[in-house]
Amino acid sequence: MAAVELRGISKSFIEGSFPALKDIHLGIPDGAFAGILGPSGCGKTTLLRIVAGLERPDAGEILIAGQVANRIPPRERNVAMVFQNYALYPHKRVYENIAIGLQLRGVSKERIAEKVEAVANMLKIETLVDRYPKQLSGGQQQRVALARALVREPEVFLLDEPLSNLDAQVREATRSELKKLFRGIKATVLYVTHDQTEAMMMSDYLIVMDRGVIRQAGEPTHIYRDPAHRFVAEFIGAHRIISVPGRLQNGRFQSADEAFGFDTPMRVTSEVLMAIRPENLIPESQEEIGLQGEVVLIEPMGPTNLISVKVGQTEWRMCFARRPIEGEIMGFSFSSSNALFFDAKSGLRLKPGN
Amino acid sequence: MKKLIFSIAIASILLYCLFPFFWTIQTALKPAGTVFRLPVSYLPETISLENIIDVFSKRPFGRYVLNSLIAGGGATILTLWVAAVLSFRLRALDLRRALRIQRWFLVGAILPPALLVIPVFVVMKQLSLVNNYLALILAYTALNLPFAVWMLHAAFRQIPKELDEAAVMDGFSQSAILYRIILPLSRPSLAVTAVLVFIFCWNEFILALSLMPAQSKYTVPVGIALLSGASGYEIPWGEINAAVALTTVPIILVIAAFQRWIIEGLTTGAVKG
């Protein structure tokens, strides 16, 4: 059963302006850690707020645990949210911050004390319960915000960029912890982020959004290998994908700058964008399709270097252990099976079958 | 050198502001017969509580203080409560709309209270509220509301909206959000607003004079103005000054009590912008 299901959700904030969400259909499997990924302004936070009930959709249905939730007020939706800036009550101690949701739901004092203690132990904040939020570090505040959500044991957790206000080091540690934590309690989580690494590493189910629409949803590795849209291909991946404009005709790709061409199993005739991931380029080798060009930029990354080689109008980036000199002519190659084709106009993926 | 000039400037301004206050107090403490004695003595040779005792024993000054406390206190509480509810609603609107509405409140604040005396009196008469504390409380509330809304709306805007949203998710109702989150977090601004509104009510004269004509309902300023001597030609300066000096006491106490919050309230806006 889907823990959260959205049917045809649309939302625009100002009448007639660009909609924040356009006809969203989505099912989050029960117990999944679902990452909602996209650039800022793509509607991902709006989507989360609609599930929370903080925002009303213009059209469409929200189902939580199989029940239509459109008319259910947020407090009765059995969802808990962790806000980007934590939104802790500054005038209440940590204990009260965590407990207040239960207090307002009429849970008995002893039961609350028990639950708060359990959650505080789980998040290792048991020594902080008597402090005020401003006496805590960012990471600690974030744990309190999490505790406030966890203590209610909701059907669905909604996390709005919970790591974005943390230092890089704390963020990395918290990232792994969060994943373990939510796996441990088998909770359904909707996790909004604009960081593709975070989304790839944490999600069981990934939703890639752009300009109010879902470009692709599915398993992260599947999305990585088989992107359905040019936007997805460009947004996901540790290194930006290389894309070359060109034309497909008679089973052959010809780049627009006439720098190279190769045979493909593609049968369509169209203006396209050929895309290939930097990790699929093999430097200093002559495989199926070999190219060579001038090294224009070297970006050292520790164990390897990110090398940019200019061929025609395109800069090809690849990882290479050896450090070449700028201006050097370097060869590299790739296999045509790793090349992805997208329609130049619609951005949709073209596959050999169609 | 600069520092010295600055100190002298501050000292002279303070002297200028505080001298009348000092003069009032020292006159109040002079024995009744010596108030007009020449040459002028700037420090009383003998301190006498005669005037202060007279004000309470010979005149119903205690009653006036009580009246002022009821009218001023009631108006302050009512003003804060109404302004808090209004500001909370204004905060829910987007800023431009909220400010447009708030501007209309200011129109009310532009009118001088003296202009309102007759219409307000007629209305209160119709409501049979003349000589009733409610008349003053309602009038003072109406007069102070624009200012109070101005202060509280600005204060509430500083509280991030996410806090409300977190509260909604936690199960707070809208009124609980106002009373249990917004108000506790706005304490400094509430204190400043309360003190200023209370001072206005405490000092207000013309409405108090016209809406509470019975002597038993005089507020302090009215009572002082109408203090009269044995004959029409005698002005009891000593007692008047004693009453004036006493009048400032509650204000000083209120400010002292809220000092920490007032300073916080006056400075928070400056830092956060």
Convert the pLDDT of each residue in B42-96 to its tens digit: 776 777 888 888 888 888 888 999 999 999 999 999 999 999 999 999 999 989 9
Q: Are A75 and B165 in contact (CB < 8 Å)? A: no
> At B257, is the secondary structure helix, strand, or coil?
helix
Query: In whole angstroms, what separates CA B230 from the centre of its chain?
Result: 32
Among A49, A88, A91, the strongest candidate for a mutation testing the B interface, having the largest count of B CBs within 10 A, is A91
**A34, A28 in Cβ contact below 8 A?**
yes
CA distance A255 to B41: 104
Tokens representing residue A229 in the block: 């849209």
pTM of structure: 0.80
Question: Which candidate, A82, A42, A98, places its Cα nearest to that of A215?
Answer: A42
With a cut of 60, say whether residue B268 has pLDDT above it. Answer: no
| Residue B166 sits at the chain A interface (C-beta within 8 Å) | yes
- The order of strands in the sheet holding A67-68 is A21-29, A2-11, A59-64, A67-68
Greatest alpha-carbon span in chain B: 75
**B170, A75 in Cβ contact below 8 A?**
yes
Work out the end-to-end distance of chain B between its first and last CA atoms, rounded to an integer number of angstroms.
Answer: 34
**A235, A196 in Cβ contact below 8 A?**
yes
Tokens representing residue B161 in the block: 């909206």
Residue in A83, A104, A105 closest to B166 by CB:
A83
Residue in B169, B172, B181 closest to A52 by CB:
B169
How many residues in chain A? 354
Q: Are B170 and A104 in contact (CB < 8 Å)? A: yes
**What letter represents residue B77's amino acid?**
I
Question: Which candidate, B236, B194, B182, B172, places its Cα nearest to that of B30?
Answer: B236
Among A50, A56, A79, A83, the strongest candidate for a mutation testing the B interface, having the largest count of B CBs within 10 A, is A83
Q: Count of CB contacts below 8 A, A vs B?
A: 49
Number of C-beta neighbours around residue A176 at 10 A: 11
pLDDT score for B249: 81
Q: What is the DSSP string of B126-180?
A: HTT-TTSHHHHHHHHHHHHHHHHHHHHHHHHHTS-HHHHHHHHHHT--HHHHIII
Q: What residue spans define the domains of chain B?
A: 4-48, 59-267
With a cut of 50, say whether residue B270 has pLDDT above it. Answer: no
pLDDT tens for each residue of chain A, 354 residues long? 568 999 999 999 877 678 889 999 999 988 899 999 999 888 899 999 999 999 999 999 999 988 899 999 998 888 999 998 899 999 999 999 999 999 999 999 999 999 999 999 988 899 999 999 989 988 899 999 999 999 998 989 999 998 888 888 888 888 888 888 888 888 899 999 999 989 998 999 999 999 999 999 999 999 999 999 999 999 998 888 999 999 999 889 999 988 888 988 888 889 999 999 999 999 888 778 889 899 999 999 888 999 999 998 899 999 988 888 888 999 999 998 899 999 999 999 998 865
User: CATH number for the B59-267 domain, one of 1.10.3720.10, 1.10.10.10, 3.10.400.10, 3.20.20.210?
Assistant: 1.10.3720.10
Across B76-103, b (16+ Cβ under 10 Å) vs e yields: bebbbebbbebbbebbeeeeeebeeebe
